[in-house]
Amino acid sequence: MKIVLDGMGGDHGPQVTVLGAVNAVKEYDVNVIITGDKERIEKELSKYDYPKDKIEIIHCDEEITNEDKPVQAIRRKKNSSMVVGINLVKEKKADAVISAGNTGALLAGGLLLLGRIEGIDRPALAPVYPTLKGISVLIDGGANADSKPRNFLEFGIMGSIYATKVLKINKPKVCIANIGIEETKGNDVSKEAYQLFKTAPFNFTGNVEARDIPAGHADVIVCDGFTGNVILKLTEGVAGAILSSLKVEFTRTFFTKIGALILKPGLVNFKKTFDYTEYGGAPFLGVNGALIKAHGSSDAKAIKNAIRQAKLFVENGVLEDILREIKVLGEDNVD
Amino acid sequence: MKIVLDGMGGDHGPQVTVLGAVNAVKEYDVNVIITGDKERIEKELSKYDYPKDKIEIIHCDEEITNEDKPVQAIRRKKNSSMVVGINLVKEKKADAVISAGNTGALLAGGLLLLGRIEGIDRPALAPVYPTLKGISVLIDGGANADSKPRNFLEFGIMGSIYATKVLKINKPKVCIANIGIEETKGNDVSKEAYQLFKTAPFNFTGNVEARDIPAGHADVIVCDGFTGNVILKLTEGVAGAILSSLKVEFTRTFFTKIGALILKPGLVNFKKTFDYTEYGGAPFLGVNGALIKAHGSSDAKAIKNAIRQAKLFVENGVLEDILREIKVLGEDNVD
């Protein structure tokens, strides 16, 4: 299996992507193609010991930055590490592509270069959401700000397949993120989606209130990309605010510092529970190819895990399953 | 000044509402009318020492419960403590009404009995959101699941007046809760609202990303009621999940228990920062009268603070300010 990694993507570039790739090829049965500045990538590679035949470099003399406008960047920077990477998947020269670069550009690249799976109206981002019970998947994490009930149905199907095949959750509970558990609660879109979900080909267990998301009530959280983005970023913001105010309390006096020292291993454990780097990145589900967005601030571990995730994605036939389910759904609608 | 308190509202009923009223009349220059079961209220009152002339009871033999359907409850239970309370404000026999009861019923009561302020399309709930910097106000906290850009404008105006007059925030920064700070980001409603806000009669400082809300980047957070409800409940859920997983770590061994004991005062301080009971309740802004929704799980302190809040609301002429600003806005639109 060949996985392409955008070597230039992310806050740290080749320094982090290359180490992630090196660790991945040592640990998993995969080959990695790194796209980007050959000289810089080779320099990083030279620091490590690894099976040389499992990493290949494809030189690209352009780079898409976070300041680039998504669609323009994809159209104009044809020799960028990101565009070259996506095109390798398009041309079936690789099985999956991963990038920690400009999110908007990567989504635009997925839509423009790979295209949508037949029958899918809106591809969606499906990041993992760590909970007290383990992990859930949130879909849409921010690819579409406005969505229709039919899109929610697609999100539910794709999220459920991904949760089953890649996250290995058995019969994932699919819920609509909503402001009440009753089917009459919510905005127009969520109420209509509820009705569609009643006969959907997945384990729909009703609405989930935002309050119950961190506790892990839902395995697949379905919402529009606006709400999804708010959920992801607010979780980050609340956790950050709590930790920073705890820090103030814990460093207030000599005694509290000792208390904090005793609790340090516990705090480390706690941080691990909510550590996104464990889970790789967010697949862009619904495009015609395996495309994974890694977090911009990914470290080498996150990149390695994204490669593992891409491998699971491909070998478990996530794309084929989505294609099949959407086709069945289309046929049902004809009846 | 006379403030009506729904004596039967909330999870604890008269036990809590009465003590809240007693403490309020001792501390502030207000008279309180408690509506509800006279016998139960008198029994509670008999436990305390307070200026007798400052608390009055109006007996009601009905009660709206959380199971009641909002509109039906308001229409049918005409002698409930909630309906009688709202009607006292309508008939100008009291200046404000507070209830910790059924939220939907209270909102329906506000709309059906008090009516909307002329020029306001959608009244909205404006709860306080505690942040690292102090407090913000969120509007709409859940009264309307779907909103139009024009509603956002009303929310901004009302939220800004409330933040200035009651929360005493000088020139409050009004922001649209959004998925990016650029004006081109967001869903259709938030993008159109951004354009309206450019000439709005308040201190609009752009979009706020959900990540930055807990840090206190915005004093007035404007969003539709769906998003607002998600923000409030997710904040509660994330904080709860973090505290419960910290608790697990802190009670893991004898030593961590000692560590936690040392840190206890700090943890108490920390909880205080995010304690909603400090701030009373959420006004239902845009209805023709001062109506405040206290949290269902309010304790006596929360009720007392809601009474203080109602007093500030009335004496600072929040309603009159809203009426004036909305009128000016209407005239501007005619030009």
Q: Which helix (H) or strand (E) holds A55?
A: strand A55-59
pLDDT given at position B82: 98
Q: What is the pLDDT of residues B82-137, one digit of tens each?
A: 999 999 999 999 999 999 999 999 999 999 999 999 999 999 999 999 998 989 99
Residues of B in contact with A225 (CB under 8 A): 179
Clarify whether residues B172 and B215 are in a common domain.
yes
The verdict on a CB contact (< 8 Å) between B146 and A187 is yes
- Domain range for A101: 1-120+286-316
Is residue A210, in this structure, part of any structural domain at all? yes
Taking the C-alpha atoms of residue B231 and residue B304, their distance in angstroms, rounded to an integer, is 26
B234, A213: Cβ pair inside 8 Å? yes
> In the predicted model, is pLDDT for residue B250 greater than 90?
no
The answer to whether A171 touches A203, Cβ cutoff 8 Å, is yes
Can you point out the beta strands (E) in A194-301?
204-209, 220-222, 282-285, 290-293
The pLDDT of residue B213 is above 50: yes
**pLDDT digits (tens), chain A, 335 positions:** 999 999 999 999 999 999 999 999 999 999 999 999 999 999 999 999 999 999 999 999 999 999 999 999 999 999 999 999 999 999 999 999 999 999 999 999 999 999 999 999 999 999 999 998 989 999 999 999 999 999 999 999 999 999 999 999 999 999 999 999 999 999 999 999 999 999 999 999 999 999 999 999 999 999 999 999 999 999 989 988 888 888 887 788 887 788 777 777 777 776 766 666 677 899 999 999 999 999 998 999 999 999 999 999 999 999 999 999 999 887 766 44
Same domain, A187 and A78: no
pLDDT of amino acid A241: 87
B237 with A227: Cβ contact below 8 A: no
Cβ atoms of B130 and B103 closer than 8 Å: no
Domain contains B329: no
Same domain, A131 and A274: yes
Domain match, A143 and A50 both: no
Q: Which residues from chain B sit within 8 angstroms of residue A233, using beta carbons?
A: 179, 209-211
Separation in Å, CA of A131 to nearest CA in chain B: 8
Are residues B54 and B15 located together in one domain of the fold? Answer: yes
Which of A72, A129, A179 to mutate to test binding with chain B, by most B CBs within 10 Å of its CB?
A179
pLDDT of residue B83: 98
Residue B334 clears pLDDT 60, i.e. is over it: no
Confidence at residue A265, expressed as pLDDT on a 0 to 100 scale: 76
Chain A residue numbers touching B238 (CB-CB < 8 A):
214, 234-235, 238-239, 242
Cross-chain Cβ contact B210/A237 below 8 Å: yes
pLDDT at B276: 63
- Which is nearest to B147 in space by CA: B117, B179, B125, B173? B125
Residue in chain A closest to B189 (alpha carbons) equals: A146
CA–CA distance from B11 to each of A33, B40, B84, B86 (Å)? 61, 15, 19, 20
Cα four-point dihedral sign A14, A232, A314, A68: negative
Contact B245 A179 (CB under 8 A): no
**Predicted confidence band of residue B258 (pLDDT cuts 50, 70, 90):** confident
Q: Cα–Cα distance between A213 and A226 in angstroms, integer?
A: 16
User: Residue B273: which pLDDT band, with cuts at 50, 70 and 90?
Assistant: low
How far away is chain B from the Cα of A124, in angstroms, using its nearest Cα? 15
Question: Does A134 lie in the same domain as A85?
Answer: no
pLDDT of residue A96: 98
- The whole-number pLDDT of residue B81 equals 98
A234:B237 CB<8 A? no
pLDDT of residue B7: 97
Q: What is the pLDDT of residue A277?
A: 67
Q: Does residue A31 lie in a domain region? A: yes
For residues B132-152, give the mean pLDDT.
94
* Contact between B241 and A132 using a beta-carbon 8 Å cutoff: yes
pLDDT of residue B308: 96
- Please indicate, yes or no, if residue B28 is contained in any of the structural domains: yes
Smallest Cβ–Cβ distance between B234 and the set A132, A211, A246 belongs to A211
Shared-domain flag, residues B140 and B160: yes
Q: Is residue A17 within 8 Å of A4, Cβ to Cβ?
A: no
- Decide if B142 and A179 are in contact by the 8 Å CB cutoff: yes
Supply the pLDDT for residue B335.
43
Beta-carbon pairs below 8 A across chains A and B: 172
**Which residue in chain B is spatially nearest to A257 when comparing CA positions?**
B263
- Which has more pLDDT, B274 or A126? A126
How far is the alpha carbon of B265 from chain A, nearest alpha carbon, in Å?
8
Kindly report the CATH number assigned to the domain that includes residue A45: 3.40.718.10
* Cβ contact, residue pair B235, A233, below 8 Å: no
> Backbone phi, then psi, for A174, in 5-degree steps?
-100, 125
- Inspect the interface and report whether the beta carbons of B235 and A234 lie closer than 8 Å: yes
In chain B, residues with a C-beta closer than 8 Å to the C-beta of A231 are 210, 230, 234
**CA distance, residue B256 to nearest chain A CA (Å):** 6
Q: Give the C-alpha separation, B321 to A45, whole Å.
A: 66
A258: which chain B residues are within 8 Å (Cβ-Cβ)? 259, 262
Tell me which DSSP letter residue A113 carries: I
> By mean pLDDT, which of B68-77, B140-149, B269-278 is the weakest?
B269-278
Our CA-based measurement puts residue B223 at a distance from the nearest CA of chain A, in whole angstroms, of 11
For the residues B186-202, what does the mean pLDDT come to?
A: 96
Residue A262: the pLDDT is 78
- The reply to whether A179 falls in a domain is yes
When scoring B69, B238, B244 by the number of chain A Cβ atoms within 10 A, the one with the most, hence best to mutate, is: B238
Q: Does residue A255 lie within any of the structural domains?
A: yes
Q: Which two tokens stand for residue A311?
A: 């491998």
Q: Report the residue of chain A nearest B142, measured CA to CA.
A: A179
Residue of chain A whose Cα is closest to the Cα of B131:
A241
What's the pLDDT tens digit per position in B6-41? 999 999 999 999 999 999 999 999 999 999 999 999
Query: Is residue B114 located within the same domain as residue B130?
Result: no
CA nearest neighbour of B294 among B63, B140, B99: B99
Same domain, B303 and B255: no
In a domain, B331, yes or no: no
Asked if residue B141 and residue B7 are part of one domain, the reply reads no
Question: What integer pLDDT is reported at residue B162 of this predicted model?
Answer: 97
Same domain, A268 and A301: no
In this prediction, residues B270-291 reach a mean pLDDT of: 83
Number of domains in chain B: 2
* DSSP at A116: B
Residue A176 lies in a domain: yes
Q: In this complex, do A266 and B250 lie within 8 Å of one another by their Cβ atoms?
A: yes
Q: Which residues of B touch A238 (CB under 8 A)?
A: 214, 234-235, 238-239, 242
Residues of A in contact with B297 (CB under 8 A): none
- What residues have CB less than 8 Å from B224, skipping those under 6 apart? A187, B140, B144, B145, B146, B147, B151, B152, B189
On chain B, the residues whose CB falls within 8 A of the CB of A68 are none
- Same domain? For B176 and B91 the reply is no
